[in-house]
Structures are given as structure tokens and as C-alpha cells.
Structure 1
Amino acid sequence: MDTSVVRPELLFVAEAVAREKSIDREEVLEAMEQAIQKAGRAKYGHEKDIRANIDRKTGEVRLSRWTQVVEHAENEDTQIPVAIARKFQPEIEVGEYLVDPLPPIDFGRIAAQTAKQVIVQRVREYERKKQYEDFKDRVGEVVNGTVKRTEYGNLMVEIGSAEALLRRDELIPRESFRNSDRVRAYIYDVRNESRGPQIFLSRTHPAFLAKLFAQEVPEIYDGIIEIKAVARDPGSRAKMAVTSKDSSIDPVGACVGVKGTRVQAVVQELQGEKIDIVPWNANPATFVVNALAPAEVSKVVMDEEAGRVEVVVPDEQLSLAIGRRGQNVRLASQLTRWDIDILTEVEESERRQEEFMRRTKLFVESLDVDDVIAGLLVTEGFYTIEELAFSPPEELAEIEGFDETLAGELVQRAEAFLVKKEEELDDKRKALGVTDEVAAIEHFTAQMLVTLGGKGVKTLDDLGDLASDELLEIVGEEAFSQEIANEIIMAARASWFESEEGTS
């Protein structure tokens, strides 16, 4: 019995499909083998292990049934006991397969249609797999494509053999594209989904602007100039911070180009978006000043713990520093990653004066001293009674107009004030009903205990019922960390477990 048929045309078809779909010839042949296998199972039984093989050189098609050799067969369609298998092949072992050649299939119309569907489906799967492999490492690239169609304002863009999605919210405001229009965009994500690879494009992403400059400025492409940060208000304005690894090259000038040719090329691509190019600086204060250009800055006060910076500008520069609808300061904040507060020189002077008066009053009332001594303490940088109480008297004595006697007296008064305040807060805590067990927990100050009592947190059970976020909301986010808040709550809940053990 002839158990094979030579079909050289299968090899020609595989070659043609592989070229047309830009996939591997071997993958097409594997799809054909699966199609023949499916037709074979339809003829000889779906439950049987039917396998097909196409000779890669001649196109010869062989069909065979594979049966696994086992000790005791549980499935007669795919397994055979070793005792019976050895009647056909005496040396066969358990775990091996008994292979029976089958006669070739004469494809009818339905079988041929089924085989075609299998091949088309597998080729489509291979095509999708190849597209994902081709694009998964291209995230971060700028590509040119053609608008294929529009769906609810979203653009389907053809990039090579693949189709990508450019959503409406990733388009620059007020720009529109029609079918067959050329479009340039940034690949910001590639996902392998069941319906095939999904390629997402953007024209509003900050990195799109950076990539456009890399195409226009050879020094960026060569790595001599580095783009440190980009902030965009798409279609309106953008800020870009640059630095040069070569001190002889001006990074801002190189990005602007002769008569602005380089920056204008990017501006045109971004629908007229104005671009401020500023020099990056490792010093945060200097970087903030640069980022607020074109506004001039008089003074910068940094608060590193809070991540905030106060910027003082001349009165006439206020509107320029803030920008229309706060655009300039918002972009500068995004660029530097600092929260920026803008003050005029007059506002800053008034606030500084108010702060001076408030602190002076605090020392006058708390220490029973006159305005002159209180003013000197504030001028020297003392902001709280605690700072004064824990200061060595000999350091205080170095202040102009002070001596050791006065310094010692001030420290004693500060300590006495704190002791009295602590006693008053403790009496208030007890009056509110906050138990000594709660007061004994580490990390709580007397003021925090009074605050807790005012919020109804008076016992260990009350404290244990809180979540860490709720505790921080009561005592203040700056009081201690989330980790410490969790420790306090767990310490309060420890009594619950102790009582359970005692009951048991």
C-alpha cells in the first residue's frame, strides 16, 4: 500500500505565502501539516493521534497514527499495552510510540475548505506573533505612517505591515488628519493581546518632542548633548532642559540652530507649539530659576523635605513668571519636579515681616522678655521655644548684646515654659479622658494626645480601631511615617490578643 503522496506544489505555495506575509517558510509548512492532520482525524477519528509530515525537500506527504506504549492502556485510541506492542516491534519500550503509516487522504471539497481555514488561521497567528516580535522592542521610537481609517476620532495608522492606534486624546489639540494623510508619531506602548499585537502611538507624549529634537540636532543623536527633562502643554507650549558633555558646545544654541532652523522644524511638526529650551543644572535652585525663563527671579527658598520651593520675583515680572492661566509655572514645576510657589518682592517682604512679628510675640509672651531681646532671638534664627531650651547657653552668649547671665536665664525660662506647657497639656489630656495606657505609647507628644482626645480616641481600643491613614489624618501627616503609625496601632491592638489568651 502506498502510504505517501508527492505534492511539490505545497513547497511552492509555502514559499509564496512566506514571502507575501513576511513570515518564515517553516511556519507555513507547519500550518499545512496541522491542516492535513485535522483532515486525517476527521477521516480516521478525532480521538486518535494522527500526525502529518511534509518532506521539506520533495514535498512528500506522509500520514501516520501514533500510539503510546504503556503498561496498562487507559485510552485504547491513543495507548497500547506493551505486551501487544511487542508483537509488532519486539524491542519497543514503555513510553515510546508505535507508528502506523496511513494511506494518503483524497481531499474532498469540505476537507479542502477546512484545511484552508486552518492554514489561514495559523498563518494569521504567525503573522501577529511576528508583528509583536518586530515592534515590542521599538517602544520609544518615532515612526512615519499613513492614516488608514478613522474610528470615533481615533486614527488607525498603517506603519509598514502593521496597524497602530493613535487615540484622539494622544493627538495635538485642533489638529486633524484624513485618510491617506502621512503622520509622524511616537510608539509609547506595545501589547500582545488575543486579537493580535496592539501598537499605541502618541503625538502629545513629552518623549515625542525629545525624539524630534534628536532627529534635528546631530549633537543629541551623537550623545554630546543630553535632554534631561521635557514638560509639554501639547499644541501650546513646552519646556525642555538640556546639558552638554562638551564644555565648548552651548546646548541651548545647538538645539535652536542657526537662525532658529532646528527648533522651527520641531515647532512646525508640533502645530506651532512654542518651545522654551533651558540649560539644566544639578543645583535645584539654579534649575528652577532657569525653568521659569523668560521671567527673572530675585530669590529662591528651598524646602527639600516638602519638595517645595518659594520663588520671589519683582512685581513687574509676576504675570510673566506665572504665565497665562498659570502655564509657565506649571510647566516649570513639571520640568523640575518641584512644587513652585511664586511671590512678589512686596508679598515676600510683608510675609517675612508678619512671620518676624509672630515669632517675636511668641518669645515675648512665653519668656516674659521685651521686644528687643525677642527680636534678636528671631533674627538669630530661633523659631520655637524648644530650639531655645535645647541650645547651649555659651552659644547664646555669643549673640551681640547678650552675656552668659542673660543666656542662662533665657534657657531656664524656656525650659520652665515647656515644663508648664507639658503639665497643662497633660491635665487637658486627663480631662478629655485619654488613658495613661495611650499616653505611654511611644511617639505621641502631649499635644498629639490632646488632639486624639478631642477626636474621641481615648482608650487602647479606640486607637486599635483606627487605620494608619486615619491616625495620621488626626495627628498630622508630618507627625511620623506610615510605618510608625502601623507600629502604634499594632501596639494598641496587642491588648486584644492578651485578653483572648487570658479568657482561653
Structure 2
Amino acid sequence: MAITSANQLELLQTAEAVAREKMIDPGLVVEAMEESLARAAKSRYGAEMDIHVSIDRKTGKATFTRVRTVVEEEELENYQAEFTLEQAKQYLDDPKIGDQLIEEVPPVEMGRIAAQSAKQVILQKIREAERDRQFEEFKDRAGTIINAQVKREEYGNVIVDVGSGEAVLRRNEKIGRESYRPNDRIRCYIKDVRREQRGPQIFLSRTAPEFMAELFKMEVPEIYDGIIEIKAVARDPGSRAKIAVISYDSSIDPVGACVGMRGSRVQAVVNELQGEKIDIIPWNEDQPTFLVNALQPAEVSKVVLDEEAERIEVVVPDDQLSLAIGRRGQNVRLASQLTGLDIDIMTESDESERRQAEFAERTKLFMDTLDLDEFFAQLLVSEGFTSLEEVAYVEVDELLVIDGVDSDTASELQARARDCLEEMNKKAMEKARELGVEDSLVEFEGLTPQMIEALAEDDIKTLEDFATCADWELAGGWTTVDGERVKDDGVLEKFDVSLEEAQNLVMTARVMLGWVDPTELGKEDAPEQEQEETEA
């Protein structure tokens, strides 16, 4: 089949029709036709030839050309598509490397096989263009809500029609035991849009916390306008959820605005989420205060925050424990998700027992080490002294505030504490030496004898061993495993060494060993210092 003047315009008409049907650019269809015709021409003239086809966008006339490129003689590989400078002089004036010779060749007769091949090329190009268009359409819609129509269900996954393609709502992204029939209307959150080999994949969700946030944005104009902001969302899909909001207008109550008149706004969201109970909580920058709000409806007696470990300890009245934890731990779990903290809940009686145990332990410490009677040791603990170091090196005035303690008694207490510490240090160093600790680690500034003993027991016996440690190996830390935070014990954690202190010690050791150039450390810190100065 040759391309004659009779069917030249038919090419353009076909391209227009296909482009309208698939909602893609007609130029892409014409380019696909050009590529398919070029492939057919190569099968006629030879696969090694560089054949190009150009279809006039107005007349539909197809022009077939052969392209040959000028290359260095030693680089000549394809004699059909390349030629040397000497050969090029026969056709070109003053040829240079990279110049091209373009010659028009006769149109080809397309047989049945060539026509079928051309059809496959065109269809493939159209599919690719269609996929690109669909990806471009949805890539910027990730993070928004879409209304779709259910087409079918496959192995628990719901396939929905999103207008110009299909999207999938996986079974683990459905709320509870939701089931849908074909042609049902469904509202979903576009969680992810990926470009894959089989085409763009659009993944939907109805369980994502962001879905609830977007629903509130649709129902509450103040959120859409930015007057109220949703700071955090935690969900147990289909059962219960907590949402934290803050108002940037003092005259607007964020909780009341989200609830609406007689609960109309929040009820609209609840209905969409299959009756999911929603607690709307005021956001607070103070984490303990925010946590007290997040644990509603339970009452909280006391909150103790450990910022470094990102843990928080909550004390509740004995009769509020089950309410604070919630059914199957739901209330405390959602509060933990909302605040981003690990929460330990205990009753007032449990906390009282723990305080009494700590009091008794510290009392015994002072009785055994300072040779004090129980009453005097209890006085020290009651005044807030927790260790021998505090007694030994505290200002004398802080000891004199204790009833019955004069300057002589204070001096005696400190002398006993220092003697005890010296004895403990001596024993610790002897034990460390027995374990094989080298002088390089003993002489390293910043480590006490007890620390050196603990390091030796962990097989860290030289300055080189110490310099290879990570800060968390010394100070301890937290690791997230399968979504749960797991405690990593540090070798020096019992000595209250912070992560920052551990990092400074390790870096000092590396500098002393020549592993790190101190001038380079200064350069790394310089940009941060410049930024701080700029902000200031």
C-alpha cells in the first residue's frame, strides 16, 4: 500500500479522530505515524539506514529522507548511515565532522506485514501518550479528595473509575468491613500516584489521617481559609479518631467551629467515615498541656516529660486508669500518635509506691556510704540530694539549710562523701586495669574511673576503641522497630551522659588520634553559625 495523494489527508483526519477519542495531542499521533512509516521504510531499504519520515501537518504529504552523518574515518561503523570526510566531499562543500547529508528517497509500498507493524507502533505510542497524560493529570492531585465510581472488586481491592482512567482502593485502605457494588459513588483520598511500566497507578485511601483532615477542610470554611489549622490527626479507622486544631483568630473557637451548629459539621464527617467517633482537641505548643487535652475524657493529675527520650509519663487518679487507656489501649494509642510521644500511664498509688521506693533506695545509699542514721539520711533525701557527688561538691550553704546541720557538720558530710568517692574511684580504676585498660584511655580527659571501668567491661580498652563508638552507643537512645520505639542501652547511660556530651567526647578522641582535622570541623560548623547570625 503506497501513500498516494488520495489518502494523504486521510492520515491527518485519522490522527485528529484518534486524538479526540483518547484526549491527547494530535501531534503525538502524527509523530507515531511518522515513526511507523520510518520503520516500514527501513524494512524495505535496510535496517542499517537512517530513514526519517516527515508528514506535512497541513497537506498530509509524507516525505521520506535518508540521513548520513560525517564521522572520523576510524569511527566509521555503519556504512549505510555514516561516511568519512573524503566520501562527503563528493556531496558537500567543505564538509565537517558532524555534518549531515539528507537525501529524499521514494515512498515505500506497505505490505500487509509492514502495515500491521505500523499499526502496532501507532497503538503503542498512543498508549504511552495516554499514560503520560493521565499521570500528568493526577500527579498534582495527590493529597486531595476525589469522587469516583466503583467499577468492580478484585480480591478485596476496589477498582474505581476516575474519569480518564482507573484507580485502586486496596482492602487495607477501606474502613472496617466496607463493601461496594458496581456503580456506587465513593469519596476517597488520593494517597499516591506512581509512574509504572504498565501505566500510572493511582492509589486511594479512606483510612489515611489526611482523608479526615481534607474532609474537615471541605466542611469547615475557617480551615479552608486558613483561620483554623489542623495540626495533627490520629485515627483508628472506623472506630475513633482525635484531631488537634488551633485558631489564629482569638475571636474564633477552633473546637466550636469544627463541631458546627448542633454538631452539623462534625456529623457530616462522621457520616462519611461510617460513624467514626471524633474527639476535637485544642492544640497547645506546650506538650504536657497538649497531652492532657489529648487524653480526654480522662483526667490527668501530673505529667513528667523526658524530651531527650521523647517519652512522657502521665499520672492519673486510680479510678481514671481504664478511661485513660481506653478499650484495648485505644485512647492512649491515639494520644501517642497525636503528640508523637511514647506515653507511660500510671495511677497515683503506683507513682506513690515508686517515689517511696526511690526515697528508701537513696536513704540506704547515704546510710551505707556516709555512715549516717536513718533520720539524717532521710533529711538529705528530702532536701533533694540524690547522689554522693551532690553532697561532696555542693556549696556548703545548701547543706546549712537542713535542720540541725551547722558548718562543722556540713564539712564532715562533704569530707566523708569525698573520701567515699575517692575509694570508689580507686577500686574502679584497679578493676579497669585488671580488665586491660590502656593508658591512652585512662589519661583521656572527660572520663571518670567509674566510666572507664564500665567501658572496659564492654571491651572498650583503648582510645582507638573509644573513638570508633557512636554517640548513642555511649549515651543510649531509641530506635523505631516495626513502628514501635525500642530502647538502646548506652555504656555510659547510668552516668547521665547526654548524646551531645557523648558526641563531643568521641569527636575529641578522633581529633587526638588524627582521624579528624579540627579545622574541617570548624568549617562544617561555620554555615550553621552564619545562619544563626543572619537569623539574629
Report if TM-score (shorter chain) is over 0.5: yes
Match of 2:407 among 391, 404, 408: 404
Match of 1:285 among 283, 288, 293: 288
Corresponding residue of 1:78: 81
In the alignment, structure 1 residue 322 sits paired with structure 2 residue 350: no
User: Counterparts of 1:73-222 in structure 2 under 5 Å?
Assistant: 73-90=76-93, 92-222=95-225
Corresponding residue of 1:500: none
Corresponding residue of 1:498: none
In the alignment, structure 1 residue 9 sits paired with structure 2 residue 3: no
Contact 2:400 2:407 in 1 (8 A): yes
1:181 Cα deviation after fit: 2.4
In the alignment, structure 1 residue 353 sits paired with structure 2 residue 344: no
Corresponding residue of 2:269: 266
Cα displacement string for residues 164-214 of structure 1 (whole angstroms, at most 9, x for unaligned residues)? 222222222222223332222212222212222122211111111111111
CA distance in 2, matches of 1:91, 1:427: 90
Contact 1:64 1:102 in 2 (8 A): yes
Are residues 75 and 314 of structure 1, via their aligned partners in 2, closer, same or farther at CA, if it must alter by over 3 Å? Answer: same
Identity of aligned residues (%): 55
Cα displacement string for residues 462-494 of structure 1 (whole angstroms, at most 9, x for unaligned residues)? 958997587765725565647579669979999
CA distance in 1, matches of 2:513, 2:178: 60
Structure 1 unaligned regions, length at least 5: 496-504
Corresponding residue of 2:482: none
Corresponding residue of 1:50: 51
Which secondary structure state, in structure 2, belongs to the residue aligned with residue 475 of structure 1? coil
User: Counterparts of 1:367-446 in structure 2 under 5 Å?
Assistant: 367-399=370-402, 401-441=404-444, 444-446=447-449
**Matched residue type, 2:399:** L
Contact 1:464 1:493 in 2 (8 A): no
Contact 2:464 2:513 in 1 (8 A): no
Cα displacement string for residues 359-404 of structure 1 (whole angstroms, at most 9, x for unaligned residues)? 2222222222333433332222221111222211123324455433
Which secondary structure state, in structure 2, belongs to the residue aligned with residue 360 of structure 1? helix
Corresponding residue of 2:249: 246
**Matched residue type, 1:280:** W
Kindly report the root-mean-square deviation, in angstroms, between the aligned alpha carbons of the 2 structures. Answer: 2.9
Corresponding residue of 1:62: 63
Corresponding residue of 2:25: 24
CA distance in 1, matches of 2:473, 2:339: 32
CA distance in 2, matches of 1:9, 1:422: 97
Corresponding residue of 1:229: 232
Contact 2:305 2:312 in 1 (8 A): yes
Corresponding residue of 2:35: 34
CA distance in 2, matches of 1:230, 1:425: 51
1:240 Cα deviation after fit: 0.6
Are residues 485 and 18 of structure 1, via their aligned partners in 2, closer, same or farther at CA, if it must alter by over 3 Å? Answer: farther
CA distance in 1, matches of 2:268, 2:253: 19
1:438 Cα deviation after fit: 4.7
Aligned length: 493
CA distance in 2, matches of 1:102, 1:387: 97
Which secondary structure state, in structure 2, belongs to the residue aligned with residue 294 of structure 1? coil
Structure 1 stretch 484-493 or stretch 387-396: which is displaced more? 484-493
Cα displacement string for residues 79-129 of structure 1 (whole angstroms, at most 9, x for unaligned residues)? 133344343343554422111111222322222111111000011111111
CA distance in 1, matches of 2:469, 2:159: 48
Which secondary structure state, in structure 2, belongs to the residue aligned with residue 201 of structure 1? strand
Corresponding residue of 1:300: 303
1:66 Cα deviation after fit: 0.8
CA distance in 2, matches of 1:164, 1:13: 30
CA distance in 1, matches of 2:460, 2:143: 56
Contact 1:142 1:186 in 2 (8 A): yes
Contact 2:467 2:507 in 1 (8 A): no
CA distance in 1, matches of 2:165, 2:434: 74
CA distance in 2, matches of 1:49, 1:397: 99
CA distance in 2, matches of 1:3, 1:95: 32
Structure 1 stretch 355-364 or stretch 124-133: which is displaced more? 355-364
CA distance in 2, matches of 1:148, 1:485: 63
CA distance in 1, matches of 2:467, 2:309: 30
Contact 1:285 1:302 in 2 (8 A): yes
Give me the TM-score of the superposition, normalised by structure 1. 0.89
Contact 2:463 2:509 in 1 (8 A): no
CA distance in 1, matches of 2:32, 2:65: 17
Which secondary structure state, in structure 2, belongs to the residue aligned with residue 383 of structure 1? coil
